[in-house]
Amino acid sequence: MSDAVDTRSIAGGDDHEAAITLGEVDIALAWKVRGNAADAPFVSHAQRVLRLPLPAPMTSTYGEHDALLWLGPRSWLFVAGASATRDDFDAARRAINAAGGALFDVSSSQVAWTIRGAAAGRVLNRSCPLDFHPHAFPPGCCAQSMLGHINALFHRPDASPAFVVMVARSYAADAWRALSDSAASDGCSVAARAPFARLSR
């Protein structure tokens, strides 16, 4: 993503005044999981392979450096900051396929950023119609919606005022522009690029 998106400066981006911090997230792997959440063998195999429970609708489950995000009634996205080998994926795919599910490696097609600060929800609302108030979008919540004209996945990992925004790699430049333009009036700084992990630890 970095070779397509210039994150070096943003209007209003003074480290001492910035109310918002944007940061690029390194996603080492992203696997899309599909299956029937009412099918006990599939659920058991998926949870054993991914080492995380399947989340309920519009929620997520988290490990130290990975997460499982709900995408739809039969679909989840497993993301991690540490890479796996091809053998790891093949073994996981075989195990989940044997239980009636499916696993797809979409690691090369996803990019993500964090947006942090007390006004992060308000900033996102300038280009997204979701309600990001903690009562409507509590810790662990994730949902797909629009970031300007781009389909995006929005995720709030914990109780801090911070969100992860994920889009298809082909829209990286447009998504970065939407985020930085929305944040500029509040004062925005750019954090160092970091691997995917829990935001508050």
pLDDT digits (tens, 9 = 90+) for 13-58: 444 467 999 999 999 899 999 999 999 999 999 999 999 999 999 9
* Residue 82: pLDDT band with limits 50, 70, 90: confident
**The pLDDT of residue 83 is above 80:** no
Q: Where are the domains of the chain?
A: 20-26+109-195, 29-108
What CATH number was assigned to the domain covering residues 29-108?
Answer: 3.30.70.1520
pLDDT at 24: 94
Distance CA 106, CA 103 (A): 10
- The predicted structure's pLDDT at residue 9: 46
The reported pLDDT for the residue numbered 30 is 93
**Percentage of residues in the chain with pLDDT exceeding 70?**
88
Residue 132 and residue 92: Cα distance in Å, rounded? Answer: 34
User: Which residue type occupies 4?
Assistant: A
Please tell me the distance from the alpha carbon of residue 148 to that of residue 178, in angstroms, as a whole number. Answer: 7
Phi, psi of 36 (to 5 degrees): -100, 115
165's CB contacts (< 8 A; 6+ apart) are 112, 113, 114, 115, 124, 147, 152, 153, 154, 155, 175, 179
The CATH fold assigned to 20-26+109-195 is Gyrase A; domain 2 (3.30.1360)
Note the pLDDT of residue 12: 46
